[in-house]
């Protein structure tokens, strides 16, 4: 189980980096809607997910009421790409140091002492780290499309790239 998560993280990190590299440096403040994250905030959030979630998975529980859900604004595309590289490395280091029994142990999300849910760590990694990453990466591809930026291949082909041609 752990090997498949590590392999998936590595494969997806390559795809994510390719999408992040398409973010235009001069449009980091752009938002598709006033309630949306800016392009830069979304890209930095995506870049941070593996590292942040692997740190969270090392805890026995996390109190969501103590979290800051305001996404930071990056200063540059280089910051986003460096964050992604460091974040993936943190996650890989965690996975290389943890064993299967630890991944099966329960992890709790609470809010002001009230339990929100309890799941095995491997489910936390699958649902909150990986699925969350894919969700936001898809959102980023829509931002790129709205900005008329060619969307790179994520899986298969895109309207802008065809690896099979």
The reply to whether 163 falls in a domain is no
Number of domains in the chain: 1
Q: What is the mean pLDDT of residues 34-46?
A: 98
CATH code at 46?
A: 1.20.120.450
Q: Is residue 94 a contact partner of residue 54, using CB atoms and an 8 Å limit?
A: yes
Nearest to 27 by CA among 152, 154, 161, 140: 140
Instruction: Say if pTM beats, i.e. exceeds, 0.85.
Output: yes
The reply to whether 97 falls in a domain is yes
Range of 41's domain?
2-146
- Give residue-wise pLDDT tens across range 86-108: 999 999 999 999 999 999 999 99
Q: How far apart are CA 165 and CA 156, in angstroms?
A: 11
- Give residue-wise pLDDT tens across range 120-150: 999 999 998 999 999 999 999 999 999 999 9
């Amino acid at each position: 189980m752990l090997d498949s998560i590590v392999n998936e993280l590595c494969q997806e990190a390559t795809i994510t980096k390719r999408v992040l590299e398409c973010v235009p440096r001069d449009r980091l403040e752009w938002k598709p809607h006033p309630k949306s994250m800016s392009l830069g905030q979304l890209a930095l959030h995506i870049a941070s997910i593996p590292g942040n979630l692997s740190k969270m998975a090392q805890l026995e529980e996390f109190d969501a009421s103590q979290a800051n859900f305001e996404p930071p604004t990056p200063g540059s595309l280089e910051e986003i790409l460096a964050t992604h590289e460091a974040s993936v490395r943190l996650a890989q280091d965690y996975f290389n140091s943890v064993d299967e029994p630890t991944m099966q142990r329960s992890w709790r999300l609470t809010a002001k002492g009230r339990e929100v849910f309890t799941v095995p760590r491997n489910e936390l990694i699958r649902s909150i780290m990986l699925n969350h990453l894919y969700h936001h990466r898809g959102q980023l591809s829509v931002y790129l499309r709205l900005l008329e930026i060619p969307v790179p291949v994520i899986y298969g082909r895109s309207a802008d790239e065809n690896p099979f041609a």
